[in-house]
């Protein structure tokens, strides 16, 4: 999509969160590794009301990134609440008791900043990137959005239509649609398989009062993390946050444990006829949850199989046999259970052959493990991703916020070092344990005959 | 100059989720003076030292792209780029990506309207090796016959896939109508018929014309030392014999006209596009028209977004674009909506284009639009990759990276009267393309 902008909270962003943020930035950020060097470590503090605050001094630009992560997302929704986390996210931009719709956009863009939000399974995030002089405005505006949104019934009705359009876009885009459906197959009857955008009946049932109650239930300081990164002074930031966020009373919110998915058994297959001529194949497996350190090994495994340009499957299927025009594999960690997904673009006639080769390569990895060169390559890619994350204040802020929300900041900071210690045998064993050739989900998009 | 990464196989492969999402990014770095060196053979080398993160970004850019093409060889620049990165006299395409992977980086090649690029990134400790690899691809490509056919097939599928995407199909149709025989009429991917004609001899001839020092700019940004980069570049490129860039295809675009076309496309959404010619990079109206475009559809506070999406609920996606072009630019208003809304949405979009010609914009709108426009520029320049891209593309465009300082000053000086005048000049006559799902 070459749209000038994607709209806030779009499904595209949701997918970005799934495959870039959760899968990678979340696990593979890790400042403080050997490569970082110049950056001081982040400061983490907890306010008396439970709000977690992380401040990172980062002087590459005069831009401050402020990220708010809230522990609410699709996995918190009951079946009759599907889509409410995302609807909530949209409504926080539509006005508060202090200002009306459009205020945020004018305020943030009026100082040359940017703002957007994403809804995912374990969290909802909001960010503002602003010139450093406007740091307090960003911190204040995010607090107003979180705690003082008005949920005007007319705005609720209008925004519902906008979200229905967003659903049309998701359906039209095969890249996002196939991922969405794969989640539904890998996490059958589990919130991680629910649609982020909800369903027509649940969305039509959402009223101003219902969304307000949802806000009250989850938007509590003890269920939030605020990250401020940029050319900032910790004391000054803490002063602002105390003044603006410190006065919000805690609500006694107790976190809900993430639902463990039912194991995937057998090969779940699905073929979908689509209007596009480009065929697509996606395979999915259940994988370790965020707090399981086996996830580190799965990160290396997926990089070696199809997560890099010179990965095994890319070389064999794209360069040697020329059966796919693209192939990629990634691990996305979530609190209740992760997912490994493999996606390829190919011609419909090659679907079976490509699936067969993928299974062959998995079998080879399960028998012999990776080569030493492959192991090193996967580690260096993780190091490099961390290094590129440190280029910008928002890259770091986002990685920290995801880690704090779904894992721990410390686990994140030690990530690159831990990866370096993983052996080839461990990677082989992870292939045996997590990439079953008998239990996986498989979906194909094919052109209509 | 919105970067369009069409047709780049390596990127299309979207390998991994490791690339940080290319979000709008923020400001001028505190680091940041740029050194410019002209090698004896005429090649330009630009280096920006930025010690913040242990990474480096390299952009080797060429005066080559659709602007130098004709309808007969449309797409040859991008085709050639895909070929150079797929094999040199020293290694094949798989070995190239493997070497880049081992440096914690990436390398790619593609062409756009006004330039062709070989972009590369790496951990900064490998900056020298990565520069060697970029030079090897640029100077020793093998352009093997076998790969030629595979890449041609890949490109044919990309062209086919564009026709399946409602927005792309509508956009291509609008550009073809707006530009006629001017080379901006086609996507950098080219045209099906012209690609079928391109053989190795044609690619080699195109290579020899464009891969010359006078057409080449090397830009490097990251944790590097300027003097060391220049010395290494001199060693790698200094032996090339001097030659200057070929002249672009100057066929003018047809006069603007009010016209409307309807296409049938797959999907659930209808796409409405309206647009026409707009100022070039060096046109005095550029800044005013960029501000007009920002007021209309430049961000979440724009008129399209607040009126058409937020107040009237007529769209999820709506925006205006006015990318910088060395030749005649274009303005584009776009809106994606449910088919049931399409008549209403088209009328509402048209009304927005008329209103900005009719009434002067308010001081507050002007202030917000300028801040938003300049903020986006600053945000987009935060990463080393984007810094290298800006330095190289502005040098290739002939204005130099200093252009941005002048541009920023021009934007600040734009008045409400300037905006109205530019809108009247460029928005009075627009073409419309509606792409709608089959009933």
- Identify whether A154 is part of a domain: yes
Instruction: Identify all chain A residues contacting B170, using CB atoms and an 8 Å cutoff.
Output: none
Asked if the C-beta of A348 comes within 8 angstroms of chain B's C-beta atoms, the answer is no
- Identify whether B120 is part of a domain: yes
Q: Are residues A340 and A235 in the same domain?
A: no
- Identify whether B62 is part of a domain: yes
Q: Are residues B287 and B233 in the same domain?
A: no
Residue to substitute from B4, B19, B104, B309, interface A, most A β-carbons within 10 A:
B104
End-to-end CA distance of chain B: 37
Nearest to A38 among B51, B105, B379 (CB): B51
With CA atoms as reference, report the closest residue to B133 among B118, B148, B144: B118
Assess contact for B189 and B158: CB atoms under 8 A.
yes
Q: Are residues A39 and A75 in the same domain?
A: yes
Q: Are residues A151 and A283 in the same domain?
A: no
Greater model confidence, A11 or A274: A274
Backbone phi and psi for residue B10, each to the nearest 5 degrees, phi listed first = -60, -40
Q: State mean pLDDT over B141-160.
A: 92
Instruction: Identify all chain A residues contacting B375, using CB atoms and an 8 Å cutoff.
Output: 109, 111-114, 131
Q: Are residues B359 and B428 in the same domain?
A: yes
- Identify whether B178 is part of a domain: yes
Residues B309, A7: C-beta atoms closer than 8 Å = yes
- Identify whether B248 is part of a domain: no
Minimum mean pLDDT among A4-13, A171-180, B40-49: which range? A4-13
pLDDT reading at B30 higher than 50? no
CA–CA separation, B273 and B333 (whole Å): 6
Q: Are residues A371 and A222 in the same domain?
A: no
pTM to 2 decimals? 0.90
Instruction: Identify all chain A residues contacting B317, using CB atoms and an 8 Å cutoff.
Output: 3, 6-7, 165, 169
Instruction: Identify all chain A residues contacting B28, using CB atoms and an 8 Å cutoff.
Output: 61-62
Q: Are residues B135 and B279 in the same domain?
A: no
- Identify whether B39 is part of a domain: yes
Q: Are residues B305 and B378 in the same domain?
A: yes
Assess contact for A2 and B4: CB atoms under 8 A.
yes
- Identify whether A178 is part of a domain: yes
CA–CA separation, B58 and B120 (whole Å): 5
Give the structural domain span for B203.
9-237
Q: Are residues B157 and B219 in the same domain?
A: yes
Q: Are residues A227 and A291 in the same domain?
A: no
Residues B375, A111: C-beta atoms closer than 8 Å = yes
Contacts with B, A 70-99, CB within 8 Å? 94
> How many domains does chain B contain in total?
2
Domain boundary among B177, B204, B237: B237
Assess contact for B271 and B166: CB atoms under 8 A.
yes
Instruction: Identify all chain B residues contacting A278, using CB atoms and an 8 Å cutoff.
Output: 157, 160-161, 164
Asked if the C-beta of A113 comes within 8 angstroms of chain B's C-beta atoms, the answer is yes
Assess contact for A290 and A304: CB atoms under 8 A.
no
With CA atoms as reference, report the closest residue to B104 among B235, B223, B218: B223
- Residues paired with A69 in a beta bridge: A125, A225
Instruction: Identify all chain B residues contacting A24, using CB atoms and an 8 Å cutoff.
Output: 16-18
Q: Are residues B152 and B25 in the same domain?
A: yes
- Identify whether A325 is part of a domain: yes
Q: Return the CATH number at B160.
A: 3.30.830.10
Assess contact for B100 and B133: CB atoms under 8 A.
yes
Residues A325, B13: C-beta atoms closer than 8 Å = yes
- Identify whether A260 is part of a domain: no
Q: Are residues A124 and A177 in the same domain?
A: yes
Q: Are residues B326 and B178 in the same domain?
A: no
> How many domains does chain A contain in total?
2
Q: Are residues A150 and A230 in the same domain?
A: yes
Assess contact for B161 and A276: CB atoms under 8 A.
yes
Contacts with B, A 173-212, CB within 8 Å? none
Angle at the Cα of A164 from the Cα atoms of B353 and A142, rounded to 5 degrees:
80
pLDDT reading at A15 higher than 90? no
Helix ranges (DSSP H) in A219-332: 234-244, 294-306, 312-313
pLDDT of residue A13: 31
CA distance A249 to chain B (A): 32
Strand order in the sheet with B270-278: B259-265, B431-437, B270-278, B329-337, B317-321
Q: Are residues B272 and B230 in the same domain?
A: no
- Identify whether A5 is part of a domain: no
CA–CA separation, A223 and A410 (whole Å): 19
Tokens of B302: 């724009």
Q: Are residues B277 and B406 in the same domain?
A: yes
- Identify whether A259 is part of a domain: no
Asked if the C-beta of A275 comes within 8 angstroms of chain B's C-beta atoms, the answer is yes
Question: What's the distance, CA B249 to chain centroid?
Answer: 18
pLDDT of residue A34: 33
Q: Are residues B158 and B109 in the same domain?
A: yes
Per-residue confidence band for A389, with pLDDT thresholds at 50, 70 and 90: confident
The SS3 call for residue B142 is coil
Give the structural domain span for A432.
267-447
Q: Return the CATH number at A183.
A: 3.30.830.10
CA–CA separation, A262 and B297 (whole Å): 46
Instruction: Identify all chain A residues contacting B382, using CB atoms and an 8 Å cutoff.
Output: 60-61, 63, 391-392
Q: State mean pLDDT over A412-441.
A: 97
pLDDT tens track for B334-374: 999 989 999 999 999 999 999 999 999 999 999 999 999 99
- ipTM of the prediction: 0.87
- Identify whether A258 is part of a domain: no
Asked if the C-beta of A234 comes within 8 angstroms of chain B's C-beta atoms, the answer is no
Tokens of A256: 């809900």
- Identify whether B1 is part of a domain: no
């Amino acid at each position: 999509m070459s749209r000038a902008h994607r709209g806030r909270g779009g499904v595209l962003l949701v997918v970005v969160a799934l495959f870039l943020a959760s899968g990678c930035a979340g696990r593979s950020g890790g400042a403080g590794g050997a490569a970082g060097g110049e950056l001081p470590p982040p400061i983490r503090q907890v306010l008396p009301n439970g709000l977690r605050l992380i401040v990172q001094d980062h002087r590459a630009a005069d831009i401050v990134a402020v990220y708010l992560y809230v522990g609410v997302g699709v996995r918190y929704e009951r079946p009759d609440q599907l889509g409410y986390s995302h609807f909530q996210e949209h409504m926080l931009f539509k006005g508060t008791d202090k200002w009306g719709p459009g205020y945020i956009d004018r305020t943030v863009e009026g100082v040359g900043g940017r703002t957007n939000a994403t809804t995912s399974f374990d969290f909802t995030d909001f960010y503002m990137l602003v010139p450093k002089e406007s740091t307090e405005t960003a911190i204040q505006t995010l607090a107003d959005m979180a705690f003082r949104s008005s949920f005007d019934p007319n705005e609720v009705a209008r925004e519902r239509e906008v979200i229905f359009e967003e659903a049309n876009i998701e359906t039209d885009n095969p890249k996002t649609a196939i991922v969405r459906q794969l989640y539904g197959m890998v996490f059958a009857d589990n919130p991680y398989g629910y649609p982020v955008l909800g369903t027509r009946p649940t969305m039509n049932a959402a009223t101003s009062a219902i969304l307000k109650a949802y806000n009250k239930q989850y938007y509590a300081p003890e269920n939030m993390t605020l990250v401020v990164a940029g050319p900032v002074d910790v004391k000054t930031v803490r002063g602002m946050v105390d003044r603006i966020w410190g006065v919000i009373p805690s609500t006694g919110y107790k976190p809900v444990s993430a639902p463990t998915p039912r194991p995937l058994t057998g090969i779940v297959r699905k073929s979908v006829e689509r209007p596009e001529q480009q065929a697509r194949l996606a395979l999915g497996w259940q994988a370790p949850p965020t707090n399981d350190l086996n996830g580190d090994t799965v990160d290396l495994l997926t990089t070696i199989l199809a997560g890099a340009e010179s990965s095994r499957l890319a070389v064999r299927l794209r360069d040697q046999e020329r059966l796919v025009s693209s192939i990629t594999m990634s691990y996305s960690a979530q609190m209740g259970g992760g997912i490994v997904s493999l996606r390829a673009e190919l011609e419909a006639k090659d679907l079976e052959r490509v699936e067969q080769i993928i299974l062959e390569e998995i079998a080879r990895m399960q028998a012999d493990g990776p080569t030493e060169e492959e192991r090193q390559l996967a580690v260096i890619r993780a190091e490099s991703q961390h290094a590129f994350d440190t280029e910008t204040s928002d890259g770091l802020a986002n990685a920290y916020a995801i880690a704090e929300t779904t894992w721990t900041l410390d686990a994140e900071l030690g990530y690159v070092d831990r990866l370096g210690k993983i052996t080839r045998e461990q990677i082989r064993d992870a292939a045996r344990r997590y990439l079953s050739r008998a239990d996986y989900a498989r979906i194909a998009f094919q052109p209509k005959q | 100059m919105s970067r369009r990464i069409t047709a780049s196989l390596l990127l299309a492969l979207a390998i991994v989720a490791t690339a940080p999402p290319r979000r709008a990014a923020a400001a001028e770095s505190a680091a940041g003076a740029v050194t410019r060196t002209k090698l004896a053979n005429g090649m330009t080398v630009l280096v920006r030292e930025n010690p913040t993160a242990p990474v480096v970004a390299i952009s080797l850019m060429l005066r080559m792209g659709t602007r130098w093409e004709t309808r007969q060889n449309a797409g040859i620049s991008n085709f050639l780029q895909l070929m150079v990165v797929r094999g040199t006299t020293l290694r094949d395409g798989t070995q190239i990506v493997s070497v880049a992977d081992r440096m914690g980086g990436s390398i790619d090649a593609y062409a756009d309207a006004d330039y062709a690029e070989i972009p590369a990134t790496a951990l900064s400790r490998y900056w020298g090796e990565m520069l060697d690899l970029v030079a090897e691809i640029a100077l020793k490509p093998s352009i093997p016959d076998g790969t030629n056919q595979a890449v041609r097939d890949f490109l044919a599928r990309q062209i086919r896939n564009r026709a399946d995407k409602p927005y792309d199909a509508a956009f291509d149709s609008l550009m073809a109508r707006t530009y006629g025989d001017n080379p901006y009429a086609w996507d950098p991917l080219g045209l099906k018929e012209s690609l079928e004609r391109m053989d190795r001899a044609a690619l080699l001839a195109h290579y020899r014309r464009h891969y010359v020092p006078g057409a080449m700019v090397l830009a490097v940004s990251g944790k590097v030392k300027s003097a060391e980069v220049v010395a290494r570049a001199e060693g790698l490129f200094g032996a090339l014999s001097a030659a200057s860039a070929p002249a672009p295809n100057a066929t003018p675009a047809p006069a603007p006209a009010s016209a409307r076309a309807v296409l049938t496309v797959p999907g659930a959404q209808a796409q409405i596009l309206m647009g026409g010619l707009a100022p070039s990079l060096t046109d005095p109206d550029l800044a005013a028209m960029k501000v007009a475009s920002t007021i209309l559809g430049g961000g979440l506070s724009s008129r399209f977004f607040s009126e058409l999406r937020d107040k009237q609920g007529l769209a999820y996606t709506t925006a205006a674009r006015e990318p910088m072009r060395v030749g005649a630019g274009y303005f584009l208003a776009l809106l994606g909506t449910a088919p049931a809304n399409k008549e209403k949405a088209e009328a509402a979009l048209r009304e927005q284009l008329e209103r900005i010609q009719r009434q002067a914009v308010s001081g507050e709108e002007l202030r917000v639009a300028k801040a938003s426009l300049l903020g986006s520029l600053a945000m987009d320049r935060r990463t080393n990759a984007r810094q290298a891209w800006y330095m190289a593309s502005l040098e290739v465009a002939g204005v130099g990276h200093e252009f941005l300082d002048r541009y920023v000053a021009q934007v600040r000086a734009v008045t409400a009267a300037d905006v109205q005048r530019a809108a009247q000049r460029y928005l009075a006559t627009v073409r419309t393309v509606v792409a709608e799902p089959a009933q």
